[in-house]
Structure 1
Amino acid sequence: MGILTELRGRVEGLSSFAELDVARSELPASALGLTDAAVIELIDSVGSLARDVGTLQAVLAGVAARRSGRERGVEGLSTAVGHRTPVELIRATTGVGRGEAARAVRVGEALLEAAEGLAGSSGANADADGRAAEASGAEVAWHAPVDAALLAGRITPAQSHAIIAGLGEPAEELLTAWCEAGRRLVDEAAGWSVEQLGEQARTLRDMLDPAGAEERFARRFERRSFRMWADGDGQQRGTIVFDDEMAPWVRGVFDAALRPRRGGPRFMTDAERADAAALIDDQRTNEQLSYDLLMDLVRAGALTDAKQVFGAREPGVRVVVTAGGTRDALGRLVSSGVVEDGGTAVPGSVVDRATCIGGRVEVTVDGCGNPLSVGREERLFTRAQRVALAVRDGGCMWPGCERPPSYCEAHHSVPWSEGGATDSDVGVLLCRFHHLLLHNGGWSIRGSGPTGFALHGPPGSGREPVPLRSKSPLRWRWDPPPDRVGWRSVA
């Protein structure tokens, strides 16, 4: 079916909602008359329409870029209509921001590159997973599976750009691994926000290419900076460009101080609960609290007792790395680790330094990342179990949630009151909001670590169970479940 035929069908589907067939000025008021079910249906329909329009726009942006090459000079398409670059042409014509215009051009250029690879393969057509072109023996771009998914409507242009830009260009010997990584990220794209998908792609890139991770870390470290200046009103301002190691540490400082305001875990000591109540009642904004905390850190320096500055909980950054790993001729670790909160990849040199400074905690897991168990002796999960759950789950397991492990509570998939054990293989990390929503709204999580968890809607809701996927970047290092057979052979 042609893309324009699909677009017409989607627009015709909207025509059944009379509330939308009004003058533009009357649309907001009219839309308030829609039922809740209609709103959900329309959000999905309009999202699909926007995805198709975005793909069409990206293709046209790629064509405009191709026809605006420097070799064409003043006869180039963009220059001929008065714009310096194709990005400026797209921005001025569509009214989108410069970043979105640049993304459309890059995605369009990638699609054209993939199309040229297919054209040289005796007319082979890529299927929705991009495998047909590979089977033909043609030389196709490593991102062909991503491009095929975009053209098939499985992902959006923004998701395509997040995957391609996040993985970056691979070395020649890593082309196969990059192609497989792109395919796997496409398969999981629906479970991530665009920002998370980009972070997952970057982390996966550094796992597949640890030597390159060390180089990328060094380049970003060189760009670190701090600058102060006064604006026109005399207000002193500053900007900081962080390196990969200190950014999570500073974020951890603020998280430790502000977590009670941001929906952190409810289970704490009486002293921690009192401190949390005082923080919630504080009249300062989160930004003012962050500023005051930063100034306290600068003033106090290394001589102040950490508890005086941070309160009951000291900040920290937990770096997670699988055991083993090879070393180069200079004894440097040739494998990367990840920061527990957020999954940022760090190279082997940072892993070694973190181990030297903070020691290590060993967690034993099975082939799919499921950790130790302690049975029913304890109502609450132990610290060791929570560390293990953080390694396995990578944050709140609720679909679409971005809360990191430090903001999560351990949920018994089989309630303790019904005989459920406090075992890690039946425990699931949920943030405070989704933990309360689950218990108060009639939702349930069933299954276990070895077999996989699924989120079930309230009784009578008619919702299909939603499989819950780990958000830990380390999931790529475990013996893969059935949907990732063969992953290790290319990684």
Structure 2
Amino acid sequence: MSKNSSFEPQRELWQLAADEKAALLREELMSLWQQESVVCRVIAELDNGASRELGYPSTAALVAEVARTSPAAVRKLVARALALNPSRSVGGAEIPAVAPLTGEAATEGAISPLHVDGVVSALQAIPGTVPVEEREKTEKTLVDLARTATTAEVAEAGRRLRDTLDPDGAEPRDTPEPSRTFRYRQGKDGSIKFDGYLDPVSGAKTLALLEPLALPHKEDNPLVRGKAERYGDAFMEIVDLAASHPDAPNHSSTRGDIVVTIPLEVLQSGLGQACLDMVTAITASEARILACDCKVIPTVLGTDGQPLEYGRAKRVVTEGLRLMLAIRDRGCSFPGCTRKPRHCHAHQGVRQTGVLI
């Protein structure tokens, strides 16, 4: 219990009536809030040059070391301290606090740190063109409300007051915020790691395509093909579908163009390795699978890698053969898979016909 507690030290908490416990909680919280306001004043003083004098790059770094935590963990506390307390210019002149009335209420222990954040956030959202008198009036209104209201009510009142003071809102940006981003990094082995952002509409469209394709198969082992793997496979199905579209912006205007370099005898035997896009090593078996749904352009290279002969493109799996597979299998031939024909590769079905690919 705090030093100013009105309850006798010899009484245990369990001996108190319910209303006494509630009153004690309120008293102790106010004491805690008062103590934080003292901490904030000390932090604000340290920010006036003392942190750098002690060799710290920022006040947050100093506070983090004293608190034995990370700068990110104390960032809100430091921001609160600087908003509630005055600072000094290089010449030593005092610069008024952003929210002086809020600081006074915090010193009394009348409002919580979360109430402080709500008031300060509302004040910082007010444009600089609003007169100082109106800003001060707004702070007083919010602080008076914070003494009895919830943090949510203070935040809502702050939004209403800001809209009243600035009915037109912030000026639009010259460059609109991007609603879709895609970033990727390609490794030396040809693999790609990517991330990005989609706005709600774009995200809904994407999930509408991905989710049906990412449904688990009956035979799926979650330890082998979990959710991430299923969505990765679904993403590649969409890429394959897009690449096969007649209007796809590929070099050949049909399937995506990739370069696979492999000795003829290795391709025929299925034993050995090939090179994908001059970078990535793949197996001969993987090269044969790629060849199923591609147009193959045979090229003869000399011993020094110079092209000696360049043939015509020829699709290994013809449209007629694909149609035959679709009629026969009505989709994926893998046990338990319900993929429709347009989502399937021809390799597995062709192998079952006895044709060597």
| Interval containing the TM-score (normalised by the shorter chain) | 0.3 to 0.5
TM-score, normalised to structure 1's length?
Answer: 0.32
Query: Greater CA radius of gyration, 1 or 2?
Result: 2
TM-score, normalised to structure 2's length?
Answer: 0.42
Structure number with greater CO (CA < 8 Å, separation at least 6) is 1
